[in-house]
Structure 1
Amino acid sequence: MRAWKLLGLAGILAGVATGAAVARDERVRRHYDAREIRDRLHERHAEAVARETTAPAE
């Protein structure tokens, strides 16, 4: 019975840790304003297009 209690406690602690990590990531994500997100997306798109045009055709 003691093993089940420890397993349950470990599960609860894992859930709390996961929730804290998700909350931290959400705060970091929301810190960007719309212009920064748009600029980052444009940069990623330009990099993808550049990789596509420099990749050898098969």
Structure 2
Amino acid sequence: MRWWKTVGLAGLVGVAATGAVIARQERRRRAYTPDEIRERLHARLATPPPAPGGEAD
């Protein structure tokens, strides 16, 4: 097998793996109901932002 065939096969495997990861993330994102999304956004807004410059003691 020539080196360019190996590189092409590795590229094809990489594209397929990337597609699988994206599909899994999309399924997770769509699994939330609108009420759950709203609750998560409200909880995120309720927490104070981190202090600029790192930790404050």
Please, what TM-score do these two structures have when normalized by structure 2?
0.80
Shift of the alpha carbon at 1:13? Answer: 0.3
What is the match of residue 17 of structure 1? 17
Q: Which amino acid in the other structure matches residue 34 of structure 1?
A: P
Structure number having the greater helix percentage: 1
Q: Which amino acid in the other structure matches residue 42 of structure 1?
A: H
Q: Where does structure 1 lack aligned partners over 5 or more consecutive residues?
A: none
What is the match of residue 49 of structure 2? 51
Q: Output the CA distance in 1 between the equivalents of 2:49 and 2:23.
A: 34
Q: Output the CA distance in 1 between the equivalents of 2:31 and 2:43.
A: 19
Q: Which amino acid in the other structure matches residue 19 of structure 2?
A: G
Aligned residues: 52
Q: Which runs of 4+ in 1 moved over 3 A?
A: none
RMSD: 1.9
Q: Where does structure 2 lack aligned partners over 5 or more consecutive residues?
A: 53-57
Please, what TM-score do these two structures have when normalized by structure 1?
0.79
Identity %, equivalent residues:
56
